Structure 1
Amino acid sequence: MTLVRTFSTAGRVLTQIRHDERTIGLLLVVPSLLIGLVAWIFVDTDVFQTIGPAMIALFPFIVMFLVTSIATLRERRSGTLERLFSMPLGKGDFILGYALAFGFLAIFQTAIAVSFAVFVCGLEIEGSIWLLFAVTVADALLGTALGLLASAFARTEFQVVQFMPLLVFPQVLLCGIFIPRDQLPEVLEAISDWLPLSYAIDALTAVANDSEDAAWIWARILAIGAWIVGSIVVGSITLRRRTP
């Protein structure tokens, strides 16, 4: 694995996406629209102030998972990946290049989503806006990494969607959006303590309420980072050159 090949892969992916207006809209606009819809639903209540930080984590996470996994899978199904691997390009170069490309897009997606939630939807943040941004970027990168992991195992786009009940839905149900995690049954609370989306929701809520110090927040970001690295490593090891 070399930096030159990795950055070349990232550049190729970004060039492809630049000519795909629908993907750009899905990545950069849709999460903010969904956050705005939630804010509009609860416009006359204080509910959005409570669940708003969770929405900032949830929608970018899901969108990045879907777009990354399907885009990577199409490279393999079309035979592009097999042709690339006939050149001096390793699995690590490919996976990391995709992670860098979509990670770069995740930064813009996060900036738009956080700005829209705070300045348009009126989400009040008592803590550091920069810490909020850092957690949200880590959360979007988590969606990217899990999408890359799913694409390494899936054979069709439909199978990618089937991975959502395994990798996404349990995290959504147990991360504390519907009920505080400390009110879950003990077994489910123990499981939720190991799920990365729980770290993101906890950290974003803590920043919004200014209820924890920066060291506590960064510990959660590092935990999310460990999941990101682990997903990328496993994805690069299990990636197949071509879908049978």
Structure 2
Amino acid sequence: MKLPRILAISKKQFQTLRHDKRTLALMLIAPILAMVVFGYAFGTGNKHAKVMVINQDCGATAQKIIDHFDTDTLSITYNNDTAAAKQSVRNGNAVAAIIFPPSFTADSHPVGPRPPQGAHLELYLDSTEAQQAPLVSSQIATALQDYAKDQEAVSAFAVDTGYAFPAAKNATFIDSFLPGIMAFAVTLFTILLTLLAFVGERTSGTMDRLRITPVTETEIVLGYELAFGIIAAIQASLMLLVATLAYHVLVVGSIWLAALIVILVAVDAQSLGILLSAAAQREGQAVQFLPIIIFPVFLLSGIFVPLQSLPDWLRPLAYILPPTWGIQGLRDVMLRGWEISQIWPILLVLLSFAIVFSYLSIVGLKRARN
């Protein structure tokens, strides 16, 4: 073992990297971008839970309790219509509705000889938001305790909790987490396999042989989509089977509708994989695209961090990622029991991604032919 030979090999490697700008940029810039996104995504913590507050209290006690809420943790919107506020929770536009009745102050500060009966407030909760629902309950308990510490002869407060989705009132973190992992896994492996398959066929000459046949680029893309759609259906069936049998994940809605969402996510990923493969000349370059796609999906699609907790400048990026819509759709179906009439906008968005990516893939293949 001689040092000069070791140094010569190292020098050759640096010279190779100097001419491979894509690899060099990936090595130097991608880790910094990943760190920045990680920091902003997880550094904000679990915050900005959207709640609707209906303050009907004829006295001042309710407002004093509301003033104890942490506005960094809760994003508060005031409403005078209890029914509309509860509907917002059922529609997924808010995590909870907090309702203070007209007699809240009177019940907590009785006048005269009437004994204190205790003041009740109503919490209408979306328990399918497994990360933020406990946060809302904790904030209410903390605010009541903080207010009570400053008062004398105050009766006990009680929280009457109702659930927007009673079938999911005992939903746990794993119930909310696994739908996200399903969409993420399908996206990761479909993009990887499509990239490697397409680049492999190009380097082996199979694609060139196809191009001298009557087969069109549209037929190639649709053929791949059909194949991966069937594979995605099998994947969805297996994952849902494991999720329900091994982890006892709550499934309130239609299994078939959940499987359809997984298939659409896979078709989106497959079309994106074909599109990216046009810029890769070999398998090594194809793999380099994975961190660029996977890091944003992993961090911003709502798997770990609720979208409401993301900084305002990062949230639009989350909504241009197909898995974000897939994860939301899976949670809506599996936990909330929503039907196709309620999630058709999500299905339409996923289908739109597939059409756009497929069209761009066809255009890319035609340019490669020319």
What range describes the TM-score normalised by the shorter chain of this pair?
A: 0.7 to 0.9
Alpha-carbon displacement from aligned partner over 1:201-236 (angstroms, at most 9, x marks no partner): 111111122165533322111211111111111111
CA distance in 1, matches of 2:299, 2:321: 11
Match of 2:283 in 1: 157
Alpha-carbon displacement from aligned partner over 1:168-222 (angstroms, at most 9, x marks no partner): 3212211111210011111111221222111011111111221655333221112
CA distance in 2, matches of 1:46, 1:213: 22
Normalising by structure 1, report the TM-score: 0.75
Aligned partner of 1:73: which letter? V
Match of 1:122 in 2: 248
More helix by share: 1
Unmatched tracts of structure 1, length 5 or more: 1-44
Number of residues of Structure 1 aligned to a counterpart in Structure 2:
198
| Higher RCO structure (Cα 8 Å, ≥6 apart) | 1
Match of 1:10 in 2: none
User: Is the 1:69–1:160 Cα contact (8 Å) retained in structure 2?
Assistant: yes
Match of 2:24 in 1: none
User: Is the 1:199–1:223 Cα contact (8 Å) retained in structure 2?
Assistant: yes
CA distance in 2, matches of 1:69, 1:145: 10
User: Is the 1:81–1:241 Cα contact (8 Å) retained in structure 2?
Assistant: no
Match of 1:175 among 258, 276, 301: 301
Aligned partner of 1:225: which letter? L
CA distance in 1, matches of 2:286, 2:321: 20
Match of 2:323 in 1: 197
CA distance in 1, matches of 2:337, 2:307: 16
CA distance in 1, matches of 2:216, 2:280: 20
Task: Describe the SS at the equivalent of 1:177.
Answer: coil
Match of 2:214 in 1: 88
Match of 1:62 in 2: 188
Alpha-carbon displacement from aligned partner over 1:122-161 (angstroms, at most 9, x marks no partner): 1111222222111111112222121111112211112212
CA distance in 2, matches of 1:103, 1:97: 10
User: Is the 2:177–2:304 Cα contact (8 Å) retained in structure 1?
Assistant: no
Task: Describe the SS at the equivalent of 2:197.
Answer: helix
CA distance in 2, matches of 1:104, 1:212: 24
Match of 1:36 in 2: none
User: Is the 1:153–1:238 Cα contact (8 Å) retained in structure 2?
Assistant: no
RMSD of aligned residue pairs (Cα, Å):
2.0
CA distance in 2, matches of 1:182, 1:58: 19
CA distance in 1, matches of 2:334, 2:262: 12
User: Is the 2:325–2:349 Cα contact (8 Å) retained in structure 1?
Assistant: yes
Match of 2:271 in 1: 145
Task: Describe the SS at the equivalent of 2:278.
Answer: helix
Unmatched tracts of structure 2, length 5 or more: 1-170
Identity of aligned residues (%): 31
Aligned partner of 1:94: which letter? I
CA distance in 1, matches of 2:231, 2:176: 27
CA distance in 2, matches of 1:161, 1:59: 16
Normalising by structure 2, report the TM-score: 0.51
User: Is the 2:175–2:335 Cα contact (8 Å) retained in structure 1?
Assistant: no
Q: Which has the larger radius of gyration?
A: 2
